[in-house]
């Protein structure tokens, strides 16, 4: 069974059971300064799991492309990837364990035809505050699982809350037990370097977790945990892993998700995917796939934030291609069409993006090749290769640490390099440290104020410059809002002053911010503004600011505009290709 069929089967299976298929969020979250990339399926659902009403109802399903930069270094073994899809289904106060667990079982054993004898499940064993999850045990038992396939673990493995284990949950925090499902690779023997006995959570590779049902049923109160009146289910299943299980290989790079890229690498380098070549080939395949996807969603390589991550992926992949004796550009250009084809057929990106992506990636590679030649020259003439030199190369040529490390035979200390980098960053304020707090940090008040202001800026730009203006992007940090918009001309200083004046007038008018759920097509016909690269579900939330602005959005927003406070223009600049970027901040 092909990967694309597996994804479709999952969406269809839950759609048949009353779930609305919602579009995936972009891999780079909109106006969320707490995180660089969308790192889980749950991220876009957080406000709804906390009680907000979702426009598509109480049963939702999707597949969410996600990226975890912290896994870059782990790529090279048979299962780590930086980019992955997370299959997810949710009950927002609707069904609970008695539906979820039989559905999970039916999906894996009937739809995907996994051998039930090779599936294992885990449950929360209970502790001094919460009882053992007996309800889930009885359900699994009834589904035919024998006791030797049902395993109990403590709260470090089978409990979910944003704060971790029950004893760490503050008052008001919700959480609950989880039930994971594992696939057993019976041909893989336990490796005793991972421990004496093998068990489902062993990392030796015999068992692979392919899904996790989180049951949010408790809330922490001053008297301890109590059951919530409305309970949520949050299921996440790693798509790449599920594909590997269905195709019965412990190597995700041997599934049809990667084989087109791997065979291209084999052709170009003349080397086989085996033995010592495997780690480098996996890095190339993983990094190129992620960078291609990001590029198709509009990201451009740069020396900052997400753009730097993308640059790092391409450079690491290029260095690996060189180590295999192949031409990186040839590999990349030959692989991009299959990557674009796979993700555009899933509706995540546009098929038309292929030529733009190829152009951008080959320009980036050309830049890197000349940097690489310069870097090699500087390393060659340096009388001392140390962390300071690695930092200088990072500064002048954008070399990630590991690239300098690969070009030299001297072992460098990455901690020392990072110290130099941090000292530099805190000086130049290029890094917004808040970005790295992790995906589920609460939206700060500043973000909410700036985000609400983007709606006013959007409408004011249309009023002053005309209907040609559409939103092309936006980004917020603690110091300013940034708004990209289409406009072919250069706005005059007078026009920009009028935009700011109108925005400040609407803020001073203290307009109420209200929301309504509507049909998407109807809303768009009535002139509601939207951010078009983003995909919206058929039923949408429309936020209105007085009668002045109406926009498709997911929130959160201030309740009245005076909470935003007066704003001023920082600058307005040309990004090229008919797109401009305006920066605005609090006075």
* Using rule CB under 5 A, residue 17 touches Zn ion: no
Please tell me whether residue 513 binds Zn ion under the rule CB under 5 A: no
Contact segment (CB under 5 A) with Zn ion among 113-121, 204-212, 406-414, 423-431 equals: 204-212
Closest CA to 563 of 443, 460, 446: 446
Size of the site for Zn ion (CB under 5 A): 6
515 near Zn ion (CB under 5 A) = no
Distance in Å, CB of 561 to Zn ion, minimum: 13
- Report residue 170: phi and psi, to 5°: -75, 165
Q: How far is the CB of 47 from Zn ion (least distance, A)?
A: 12
Choose the stretch contacting Zn ion; rule: CB under 5 A; options: 17-25, 191-199, 211-219, 411-419: 191-199
Asked if 190 interacts with Zn ion (CB under 5 A), we say yes
456-475 burial: b if 16+ Cβ within 10 Å, else e: bbbbbbbebbeeebbbbbbb
CA 513 – CA 529 distance, rounded (Å): 15
What is the footprint of Zn ion within residues 134-173 (CB under 5 A)? none
Which of 204, 334, 517, 579 contacts Zn ion by CB under 5 A? Answer: 204
Kindly tell me which of 69 and 202 has the beta carbon lying closer to Zn ion. 202
Q: Is the Cβ of residue 206 or residue 282 nearer to Zn ion in the bound state?
A: 206
Cα–Cα separations (whole angstroms), residue 436 to 35, 398, 453, 477:
6, 21, 24, 12
Q: Where are the beta strands (DSSP E) in 119-223?
A: 119-124, 150-153, 159-161, 174-184, 207-221
Nearest distance, CB of residue 194 and Zn ion, angstroms? 5
With contacts defined by CB under 5 A, name the span among 40-48, 283-291, 546-554, 567-575 that binds Zn ion.
546-554
Assess 92 for contact with Zn ion (CB under 5 A). Answer: no
Q: State the nearest-atom distance from the C-beta of 557 to Zn ion, in Å.
A: 5
By the rule CB under 5 A, 198 interacts with Zn ion: yes
Q: Which of 69, 202, 420, 441 binds Zn ion (CB under 5 A)?
A: 202
- Least Å distance, CB 207 to Zn ion, is 7
Q: Does 390 interact with Zn ion (rule: CB under 5 A)? A: no
Q: Please report whether residue 188 would count as binding Zn ion according to CB under 5 A.
A: no
CB of 493 to Zn ion, least distance (A): 28
Give backbone dihedrals phi and psi of 16, rounded to 5 degrees, phi first. Answer: -65, -20
Our measurement of the distance from residue 299's CA atom to the centroid of its chain's CA atoms, rounded to an integer in Å, reads 13
Tallying the residues shown for the chain, one arrives at: 587
Alpha-helical segments (H) within 382-479: 387-397, 401-407, 414-428, 445-465
Which of 385, 421, 553, 564 binds Zn ion (CB under 5 A)? It is 553
Asked if residue 355 lies in contact with residue 295, where contact means CB atoms within 8 angstroms, the answer is no
Sort strands 119-124 and 150-153 into parallel, antiparallel or unpaired. parallel
| CB-based burial label for 311 (10 Å; 0-12, 13-18, 19+) | buried
Closer residue to Zn ion, CB minimum distance, 101 or 542: 542
Question: Which is nearer to Zn ion, 201 or 249 (by Cβ)?
Answer: 201
How many Cα atoms occupy the beta-carbon half-sphere of 170 within 13 Å?
2
Instruction: Give the footprint of Zn ion on this chain (CB under 5 A).
Output: 190, 198, 202, 204, 206, 553
């Amino acid at each position: 069974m092909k990967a694309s069929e597996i994804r479709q089967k999952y969406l269809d299976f839950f759609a048949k059971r009353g779930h609305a298929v919602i579009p995936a969020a972009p891999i780079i979250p909109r106006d969320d300064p707490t995180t660089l990339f969308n790192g889980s399926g749950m991220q876009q659902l957080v406000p709804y799991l906390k009680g907000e009403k979702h426009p598509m109802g109480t049963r939702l399903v999707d597949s969410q492309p996600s990226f975890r930069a912290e896994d870059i270094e782990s790529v090279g073994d048979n299962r780590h990837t930086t980019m992955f899809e997370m299959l997810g289904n949710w009950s927002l106060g609707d069904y609970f364990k008695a539906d979820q667990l039989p559905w999970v079982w039916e999906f894996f054993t009937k739809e995907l035809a996994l051998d039930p004898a090779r599936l294992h499940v885990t449950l929360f064993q209970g502790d001094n505050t919460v009882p053992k999850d007996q309800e889930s045990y009885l359900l699994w038992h009834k589904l035919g699982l024998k006791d030797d396939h049902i395993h109990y673990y403590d709260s470090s493995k089978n409990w979910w809350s944003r704060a971790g284990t029950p004893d760490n949950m503050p008052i008001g925090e919700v959480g609950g037990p989880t039930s994971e499902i594992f696939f057993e690779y019976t041909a893989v023997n336990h490796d005793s370097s991972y421990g004496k006995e093998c068990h489902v959570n062993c990392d030796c590779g015999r068992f692979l977790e392919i899904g996790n049902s989180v049951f949010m049923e408790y809330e922490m109160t001053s008297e301890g945990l109590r059951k919530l009146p409305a309970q949520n289910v949050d299921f996440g299943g790693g798509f790449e892993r599920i594909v590997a299980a269905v195709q019965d290989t412990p190597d995700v790079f041997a599934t049809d998700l990667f084989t087109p890229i791997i065979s291209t690498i084999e052709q170009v380098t003349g080397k086989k995917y085996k033995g010592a070549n495997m780690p480098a080939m996996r890095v190339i395949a993983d990094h190129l796939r992620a960078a291609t996807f990001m590029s198709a969603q509009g990201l451009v390589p740069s020396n900052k934030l997400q753009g730097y991550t993308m640059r790092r992926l391409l450079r690491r992949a290029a260095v690996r291609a060189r180590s295999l004796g192949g031409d990186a550009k040839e590999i990349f250009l030959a692989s991009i069409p299959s990557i674009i084809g796979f993700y555009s057929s899933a509706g995540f990106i546009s098929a038309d993006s292929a030529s733009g992506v190829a152009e951008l990636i080959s320009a980036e590679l050309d830049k890197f090749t000349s940097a690489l030649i310069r870097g090699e020259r500087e390393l060659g003439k340096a009388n001392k290769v140390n962390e300071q030199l690695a930092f200088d190369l990072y500064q002048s040529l954008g070399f990630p640490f590991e690239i300098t490390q690969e070009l030299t035979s001297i072992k460098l200390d990455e901690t020392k390099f990072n110290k130099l980098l941090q000292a530099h960053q805190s000086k130049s304020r290029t890094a917004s440290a808040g970005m790295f707090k992790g995906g589920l940090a609460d939206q700060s008040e500043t973000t909410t104020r700036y985000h609400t202001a983007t709606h006013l800026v959007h409408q004011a730009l249309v009023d002053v410059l005309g209907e040609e203006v559409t939103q092309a992007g936006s980004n917020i940090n603690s110091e300013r809002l940034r708004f990209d918009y289409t406009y072919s001309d250069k706005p005059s200083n007078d026009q920009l002053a009028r935009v700011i004046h109108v925005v400040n007038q609407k803020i001073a008018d203290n307009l109420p911010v209200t929301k309504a759920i509507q049909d998407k097509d109807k809303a768009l016909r009535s002139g509601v503004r939207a951010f078009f690269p983003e995909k919206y579900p058929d039923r949408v939330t429309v936020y209105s600011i007085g009668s002045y602005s109406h926009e498709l959005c997911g929130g959160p927003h201030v309740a009245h505009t005076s909470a935003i406070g007066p704003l001023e223009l920082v600058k307005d600049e040309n990004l090229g290709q008919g797109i401009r970027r305006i920066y605005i901040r609090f006075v």
